[in-house]
Amino acid sequence: MLSKKLEEALNKQINAEFWSAYLYLSMSSYLESEGLGGMALWMQKQFAEEQEHAMKLYNYVLDKGGKVLLQPIAAVETKWKGALDVFQATLKHEEFVTSLINDLCSLSVKEKDYSTKSFLLWFVNEQVEEEKNAREIIDKLKLIGKDGYGIYQFDKEMGQRK
């Protein structure tokens, strides 16, 4: 059984994960409008991944006998200054999500709910990958700079994400 505090916190995280999905779909739309279909496809994969994260939390709350209370998804950003700005915003967002996951882990320990702490470790490890991926893309975009051919090639590479 989840404590009331932990149930509320996990419900907030479900909302945050769906918000993240919505943000990445917005980024995908922006990138597509800028002619960067490969990067847009990469963001669509992020969108799907964030939905999976939300559902993982959703199912866990139910498995623990809790109640899922879905809340409205707040509006997301829709405009950026270019691909580099999109991925810098992605990194900033993923760092924020990491802090949310860390807070959940701390709460699970405080509430002496070690099964939830164990469950959340998957998310802790996932966040390492999420931040790393964003940093690597930022580094590549900075290397490429304004080189149109380089951006074209990198966009094609980004579209190969499985």
Percent of the chain at pLDDT above 70?
100
pLDDT of 120 over the 90 cut: yes
Percent of the chain at pLDDT above 90?
98
Q: What is the pLDDT of residue 161?
A: 87
Q: Where are the domains of the chain?
A: 4-158
| Mean pLDDT estimate for the chain | 97
Specify the CATH architecture of the domain 4-158: Up-down Bundle (1.20)
Report the C-alpha gap between 114 and 105 in whole angstroms. Answer: 9
Residue of 89, 91, 82 lying closest to 145 (CA atoms): 82
pLDDT of 73 over the 90 cut: yes
Here the tokens at position 40 are 């847009």
Q: What is the pLDDT of residue 160?
A: 94
* Cβ density class 64-102: b for 16+ within 10 Å, e for less: bebeeeeeeeeeeeeebeebbebbbbbbebbeebbebbe
Structure pTM? Answer: 0.95
Residue pLDDT, tens place only, 34-57: 999 999 999 999 999 999 999 999
Q: What is the pLDDT of residue 144?
A: 97
Q: Tally DSSP H helices, then E strands, for the chain.
A: 5, 0
